[in-house]
Amino acid sequence: MARLLVTGGAGFIGSNFVHHVVAHTDDSVTVLDKLTYAGNRASLAGLPEDRVSFVEGDIADAELVDALFRDVDAVVHFAAESHNDNSLNDPRPFLDTNIIGTYTLLEAARKHDVRFHHISTDEVYGDLELDDPARFTETTPYNPSSPYSSTKAGSDLLVRAWVRSFGVRATISNCSNNYGPYQHVEKFIPRQITNVIRGIRPKLYGTGENVRDWIHADDHSSAVLTILERGQIGQTYLIGADGEQNNKDVVELILELMDAPRDAYDLVTDRPGHDLRYAIDSTRLRTELGWQPRYQDFRAGLAATIEWYRDNEAWWAPAKDGVEAFYASKGQ
């Protein structure tokens, strides 16, 4: 039984991870989350209070972080500013949280010799051509495109340097696009599902040909636990479930699963610098650590996600109008 500190545990993937840890281990969890617009305490409702505690605070608050690191065995670091479109509008919070916040945590991990796992993204590798047979691997050179992905790349490099220079016991994982419950309505899949529920037509950027490599958030969680338990210190692991789909196909599938005409969507202004395609080769994680994804039927996983948004309108409704007003102001 371990004591985990989970940063960003009130966000999409962090909250899915806390639910996964409670269901599959005997570990206890302290969540450290600033509750930005993206954090929601309701995502942790129903979890046992004797195993999950919550601290509202900033990962860049060195005093608070130092105090929390005294009483834990390991830290899993999900907290980030995570949305590309926001980073194009106002990059500053991305530097504060993703760079300075990660630096603050690394200094505490160094001081208290705490095992540290850093959550990152495949976007650090840039993008691939649609017809490129290659996929990202752990040795693909970094080539980030957006303010978001460049700050994630910067944070990964800080972790690598703190391992090499100071002997911090850290691992890194770079995962592809996640879907599932508790994802903010600013993101692609929840935005389109909640648009259809509200009678708004889904919005595809550009031509909709861009490809993302989808993985269920619960598979991301099981991969992170596997790395935490068996990963080699200093190593990077790519997490992916062979889920490449173009955005147009995803929107058409959402419409079909929600009993709407498959062509009832709009093409809107493209994202500046929009990455064309991401694709992950997760061979290292599968062969060296024996991990396998469980959710390999995207259609079934998407149908369950649609049900979750239908059943949990009270969770997402407060954010919906503000998000749509933001997109409308950009012609999206």
- Residues in touch with ligand NAD (CB under 6 A): 7-8, 10-14, 33-36, 38-39, 58-60, 78-82, 97, 101, 119, 121, 152, 175, 177-178, 184
Asked if residue 205 binds ligand TDX (CB under 6 A), the reply is yes
135 near ligand TDX, judged by CB under 6 A? no
Helices 102-112, 147-166: axis angle to 10 degrees equals 20
> Would you give the DSSP letter of residue 201?
P
Cα of 198 vs its chain's centroid, Å: 25
Q: Least distance to ligand NAD from the beta carbon of 251, Å?
A: 17
Query: In which region does residue 273 sit, left (phi positive, over 0), alpha (psi from -120 to 50) or beta (all else)?
Result: left
Give the active site residue among 148, 179, 265, 278. 148
**Cβ-contact 21, 13 below 8 angstroms:** no
Q: Is 210 in the site for ligand TDX (CB under 6 A)?
A: yes
Q: Which residue is catalytic, options 122, 127, 186, 244?
A: 122
Sole binder of ligand TDX in the list 98, 177, 194, 236 (CB under 6 A): 177
27 or 244: CB nearest ligand TDX? 244
Give me the DSSP letters along 40-88.
-GGGGTTS-TTTEEEEE--TT-HHHHHHHHTT-SEEEE------HHHHH
123 labelled catalytic: yes
Establish whether 122 is a catalytic residue. yes
Residue 188's binding partner among ligand TDX, ligand NAD, none (Cβ under 5 to 8 angstroms by kind) is ligand TDX
According to DSSP, the residues that pair with 178 across neighbouring strands are 215
DSSP assigned state of 105 = H
Count the helix, strand and coil residues of the chain and give each as a percent rounded to the nearest 5.
Answer: 45, 15, 40
Nearer to ligand TDX, 108 or 124 (CB): 124
CA distance 316 to 146: 27
- What residue 110 binds from ligand NAD, ligand TDX, none (CB within 5 to 8 A, per partner kind)? none
Q: Which stretch binds ligand TDX (CB under 6 A): 100-108, 197-205, 296-304, 314-322?
A: 197-205
Q: Which stretch binds ligand TDX (CB under 6 A): 43-51, 76-84, 222-230, 304-312?
A: 76-84
Q: How many residues does the chain have?
A: 332
145 binds ligand TDX (CB under 6 A): no
Instruction: Give me the catalytic one of 27, 33, 58, 123.
Output: 123
Radius of gyration, alpha carbons of the chain = 19
Active-site positions read 122-123, 148
Give the residues lining the site for ligand TDX (CB under 6 A). 82-84, 121, 123, 177, 187-188, 191, 203-205, 210, 212, 247, 271
